[in-house]
Structure 1
Amino acid sequence: MKLTALTFLLAIATIVCKAQETRPGPQLPPETGEQFKVGIAGYTFVKFDLDKTLETLKALDVHYLCIKDFHLPMNSTDAEIAAFHAKLKAHDVTGYAVGPIYMRSEEEIDKAFDYAKRVGVKLIVGVPNPELLPYVEKKVKEYDFKYAIHLHGPDIKIYPDADDVWNHTKDLDPRIGMCLDIGHDTRNGKDPVADLEKYHSRVFDMHIKDVTAPVKAGYSLEVGRGIIDFPAMVRMIRRVGYTGVCSLEHERNMDNPFMGIAESIGYFRGVIETTKE
């Protein structure tokens, strides 16, 4: 059942009251105590610099960021990487993964794994050409990283949904899995709640968004305004014991996305609060 506007507002009011009554000093984010974390995918800020990105995360009390290379280029020096992490730390933000990174050759795979190692993360969100998956598996074994293939719905030919990623990876090293983008999965006619249940052992990252319809023409909009059943999704996240990050990837009004980002994070946290048992 989707949250009504009234239920959502009551949930937010409950969160605020609880924070005021029981949380002296700096307030903890409402999802504290869950096995999973709430974050933001770096692509959300493709038109903004790192300072604006971190200012937004701080305002939202979000502490996890999937790093995109427009904020930290792949040819960054060790000194530049150290300065990047220092800036994140000053905002109480952890860069937990890099990507999505497209990989169309063994050389590009080598560069991506070296980049992730120098950045200091052990999760790569990637989009490798399918014929390169045996080489990805070799690198995963060499580096002991997890590799999450980002699915893209009907927009590109490869990896349209969770079924497709599973079929490509089920016989590979178990550290190769998926970034379950619930919006793109839905746009390819799939049920992301059911797919999380089926494939949770290979779901290493999640992109949270809402969409208007289960077809290619369906477009992204603020979480809670579309067709995805978020209470069912949050309950499934708990049921399967997902311990990764649920990162908002906001792709609407990207010249000025900030109100939509805040609405989406607020709604998602409202669902987290109201589905607790």
Structure 2
Amino acid sequence: MKNLSIIISALLLLFSATVQSQERPGEQLPPETNELFKLGVAGYTFVKFDLDKTLETLQKADVHYLCIKDFHLPFTSTDKEIADFHAKLKAKNIKGYAVGPIYMKTEEEIDRAFDYAKRVGVKLIVGVPTYELLPYVDKKVKEYDFNYAIHLHGPDIELFPDAENVWKSVKDLDPRIGMCLDIGHDTRNGKDPVADLKKYHTRVFDIHIKDVTGDTKLGYSVEIGRGIIDIPAFVKMLRKVKYTGVCSLEHEKNMDNPFMGIAESIGYFRGVIAATK
């Protein structure tokens, strides 16, 4: 019955948003407006699509935050290209709130990432350094006054498999170094993302929302609401810890044609928000 109420809430929200946007375009606020957290999309979701298609999809879904990937805004972009990029987002009422994930295997690549983020005009980097480079990340965070969110990878690679691993790696470093809590990868490494959000929320600077079919490496990505993650409990925990960042959908199923999955996932997540108030 709980899932049914969430689905009904999601459908009503989507229908209402569609009708209202047709009647009074640009005037409606997304359903999560009254929450401390915001809803966004991770740029990697659109790895096979250009920026125009990305922004069109976000606009149709009434999502206003995008984590910027370098395939949409290359590291070598000029100041004019960066300004044009932001102007294009602003025209769609979308904000690029962070850059990444960016993989960094050398000090030079860390320098490039911090310079890139500064030129783009954001103060959050979603990054993947090596463990050995963490002291240098600490130095750059102090220099730039940025937040640095290490992306989790679950059991797929050895680097930073879950929230506990990131916490242990950064707890003695500058408090501006934390994590991008990918709830799917955390789950696939046998962890509980609800419990991990509660434990480590002071170092959670970004969140990738998704759902998965299992709590091992064999688990794979599905639309939010179709997997094993307790999304209602996670939303309640977001409120409990007063998370103020972005929950960005990173949709990794059927990436050649992800659009129905994106709509379903965002609709379900918003249904959960409404049903758990």
TM-score by length of 1: 0.95
Name the residue aligned to 1:258: 259
Quote the residue 1:173 is aligned against.
174
1:267 matched to 2:268? yes
Structure 1 portions without partners, runs of 5+ = none
* 3-state SS, counterpart of residue 102 of structure 2: strand
Aligned to 2:92: 91
CA distance in structure 1 between the partners assigned to 2:80 and 2:223 by the alignment? 37
* AA at the equivalent of 1:130: Y
Distance in 2, matches of 1:272 and 1:238, equals 10
Q: Distance in 2 between matches of 1:125 and 1:261?
A: 21
- What's 1:112 paired with? 113
**What SS is found at the alignment partner of 1:190?**
coil
Q: Partners of 1:255 and 1:232 in 2: how far apart?
A: 31
Write the mapping of 1:34-53 to structure 2, written as runs, cut at 5 A: 34-53=35-54
Q: Assess, with a 3 A threshold, how the Cα gap between structure 1 residues 3 and 144 changes in structure 2: closer, same or farther.
A: same
SS at match of 1:137: helix
Deviations 1:173-212 (CA, angstroms, capped at 9, x unpaired): 0000000000000000000000000000000000000000
Query: What are the within-5 Å matches in structure 2 for residues 70-219 of structure 1?
Result: 70-219=71-220
> 1:12 and 2:10 equivalent?
yes
For residues 41 and 206 of structure 1, the distance between their equivalents in structure 2, rounded to whole angstroms, comes to 9
Secondary structure of 1:153's counterpart equals coil
State the distance in 2 between where 1:169 and 1:61 align: 35
**CA shift at 1:15, angstroms?**
3.3
Q: Report the residue type matching 2:105 in the other structure.
A: R
AA aligned to 1:67 is I
Runs of 4+, deviation exceeding 4 Å: 16-21
The Cα shift of 1:27 comes to 1.9
Are the aligned partners of 1:106 and 1:135 in contact in 2 as well (CA < 8 Å)? yes
Amino acid at match of 1:33: N
Distance 2:82 2:98 in 1: 14
After superposition, residues 228-267 of structure 1 pair within 5 angstroms as 228-267=229-268
Letter in 1 for 2:9: A
Determine if contact 1:40/1:248 at 8 Å carries over to the other structure: yes
Distance 1:9 1:29 in 2: 17
Q: Distance in 2 between matches of 1:73 and 1:3?
A: 44
User: Match for 1:8: what amino acid?
Assistant: I
Report the 3-state secondary structure (helix = DSSP H, G, I; strand = E; otherwise coil) of the residue aligned with 2:148: strand
Tell me the secondary structure at the aligned position of residue 206 of structure 1. strand
Q: In 2 relative to 1, CA 10–116 (structure 1 residues): closer, same or farther, beyond 3 Å?
A: same
Equivalent pair of 1:200/1:242 in contact (CA under 8 Å) = yes
The answer as to whether partners of 1:250 and 1:257 remain within 8 angstroms in 2 is yes
CA distance in 1, matches of 2:14, 2:54: 24
Aligned-partner Cα distance in 2 for 1:109–1:255? 31
Identity %: 75
Residues 16/111 of structure 1: CA separation in 2 closer, same or farther (3 Å cut): closer
Amino acid at match of 1:117: K
**Number of positions where the alignment pairs a residue of Structure 1 with one of Structure 2:** 272
- Residue identity opposite 1:208 in structure 2: I
User: Structure 1: how far apart are the matches of 2:162 and 2:186?
Assistant: 5
- Conservation of the 8 A alpha-carbon contact between 1:154 and 1:188: yes
Cα RMSD over matched residues? 1.5
Partner SS for 1:247: strand
**Residues 3 and 271 of structure 1 are in contact (CA less than 8 Å); yes or no, is this contact kept in structure 2?**
no
Give deviations 1:225-274, integer Å, cap 9, x for gaps. 00000000000000000000000000000000000000000000000010
> How far apart are the structure 1 equivalents of 2:12 and 2:83?
40
